[in-house]
Amino acid sequence: MPYQEEQLDLIPRPNPRGGKRAGAGRKSKRGPTYVARIPESYRHAIGQLIELLDEVEQHKLCEVEVTIK
């Protein structure tokens, strides 16, 4: 058995820094998130929609009018 222990010492141990770790990364301000591929041309509109929804949530508005050009 001592031979196996020597072999384990030759195997490089994983670095505790970096890589994928549970709980790592920036936390969301608005709750759970998911990844989606959205066309670059909609980037500005999506940003405005998120701001509008945040404003509605913050002020508890019951009705919102949106004009789409």
* pLDDT reported for residue 25: 79
* pLDDT reported for residue 28: 81
Read off the pLDDT of residues 7-22 as tens digits, 9 standing for 90 and up: 666 667 666 676 777 8
Q: What is the residue whose two structure tokens read 């196996």?
A: 4
One-character DSSP codes across 1-63: -HHHHHHHHHSPPPPSSSS--TT-SPPPSSS--------GGGHHHHHHHHHHHHHHHHHT-S-
CB 26 within 8 A of CB 34: no
* Consecutive 10-residue averages of pLDDT for the chain (69 residues): 59 70 80 90 92 82 72
Residues whose CB is less than 8 angstroms from the CB of residue 52 and which lie 6 or more positions away in sequence, other chains included: 64, 66
